[in-house]
Amino acid sequence: MRKEELGVLVQSLKQMAAAREVVNISKKVGELIEDMTHRMLFGRCKDYQRADLKALVQETLILVGAFNIADYVPFLGALDLQGLKRRMKAISGAVDHILEKVIDEHKQDASENQGNHKDFVDVMLSLMNEMKNFHQEPSYLIEQENIKGIVWDIIIGAIDTSATTIEWLLSELFRHPRVMRQLQEELENVIGMERMVEEVDLANLVYLDMVLKEGLRLHPAGPLLLPHESIEDITLNGYYIPKKSRIIINAWAIGRDPNIWSNNVEDFFPERFIGSNIDFQGKDFQFIPFGSGRRKCPGMQLGLINVRLVLAQLVHCFDWKLPNGMLPSELDMSEEFGLALPRATHLHALPTYRLLPKVNMTTGLVNTTVNSTVYSDGQLAVYEIPQILLSQGILSPQAPASAPLPPKPKKASPLNSHAPSTSTTVSVDSCEATGLPHYAPIMVSIGVAVVAALSLCI
């Protein structure tokens, strides 16, 4: 699933790279994480459901991170002077309505045997039905309300935090070209330049792991983690903590403490983790981006896989350049107040596709994009553009309206007597359907490649 969604993103970025378009990385990454999460949970989320869920997630994160005067003056909580409770109840009702509809659709698909692939909701419904059949004690039953609560927790915990972490990591890599080059060198050595990153490759990317640790040290997904509460009176290091005290841990401040991380604590320096046993499990209290102990983030592994894979793919497949001649040191790194502390402004950059084209063993040519001009009599004039020329921006996959059309045959034929009407992309197999020989587009592509190479030499 992740491979398919990432493949769609890479293809989209390749087209933007060929067109020399600036990419809104924040938007693209956010949509990717949403698609991956919704596909994992629901199989595929409908457009209206996706839009509604996105708005509800944003509103929920705003309310959870909002200042609540009742936290400091408890007796004012019943008055709800800020309207936070009313807004939260409205969100709860809207979420319940959407998820109820999603679950009902999954039940209907299961009864009609229409579901080809099981997603998270299908698995939970299956588990719920199995428990009911075994007549378990009520305390061990999974009800539909439980499923809705678990699904909503995953949506809240997975989408915003993963997207924000990837944004900050790319921002730091753009500001530190040395680290970017070293990470790309590791990807080249481990994976090569002929293919994309696979999940099985992640275990061999040691420097990527250090980059991720350094990024989460400076920009933890939850700067204050989640609130904790003491279950009994306790004294720690001479400090008395009464029962039911709310404990807030400032992971952001711990990650920037010079007494722990030396004087270059504000620098993005992944090499500080060389030879270190510090990991993401929370055993080392100087680095707890996911918390520690029984109350640490239950979705840690899911988040790490998503972040590692997306970051590695974007760095491996593309070279990135800041727009409008902006220098790395000029990149705005301001933070916006919120639960996940996102960037204050969206991250933009200009991509250049960097992977080598694959060679077609049948023709001996690199992968090609086949374009055609459709004439009013329905026949086609076919020509090929080598993919290497597209990736370097020398040629465009679709000629603009003002560009010259491919030359018509000189001999009298139906193609000569009609003006072209539209242009579209077709496969080489179309040559057989139109009576054109299979080698015709290959000869044209060789000519295009030679002319382009000569123009570069000149």
Exposure string of 399-414, with b = 16+ CB inside 10 Å and e = fewer, is beeeeeeeebeeeeee
Distance (Å, whole) CA 428 – CA 440: 10
CA-closest candidate to residue 350, choices 316, 326, 332:
326
Q: Is 371 exposed, middle or buried (0-12, 13-18, 19+ CB in 10 A)?
A: buried
297 among annotated binding-site residues: yes
Do the Cβ atoms of 256 and 265 come closer than 8 Å? yes
Pairing of strands 23-24, 348-353: antiparallel
The three-class DSSP label of residue 172 is helix
What are the residues facing 371 on neighbouring strands?
Answer: 383, 425
Distance (Å, whole) CA 305 – CA 288: 17
The three-class DSSP label of residue 251 is helix
Distance (Å, whole) CA 414 – CA 9: 41
Q: For 293, how many CA atoms within 13 A lie in the half-sphere containing its CB?
A: 5
User: Residue 260 phi/psi, 5° resolution?
Assistant: -105, -40
Concatenated DSSP letters of 326-386: --GGGS--PBPPSSS--BSS--EEEEEE-SPPPB-TTTSSB-EEEEEEEETTS-EEEEEEE
Find all residues with CB under 8 Å of 56, minimum gap 6, and list them.
91, 94, 95, 98
CA-closest candidate to residue 216, choices 303, 155, 318:
303
Q: What is the DSSP code (8-state) at residue 458?
A: -
Q: For 46, how many CA atoms within 13 A lie in the half-sphere containing its CB?
A: 9
Do the Cβ atoms of 61 and 160 come closer than 8 Å? yes
Task: Tell me how crowded residue 246 is: count the other CB atoms within 10 A of its CB.
Answer: 9
Distance (Å, whole) CA 225 – CA 213: 16
Report the binding-site residues for heme.
297
Report the binding-site residues.
297
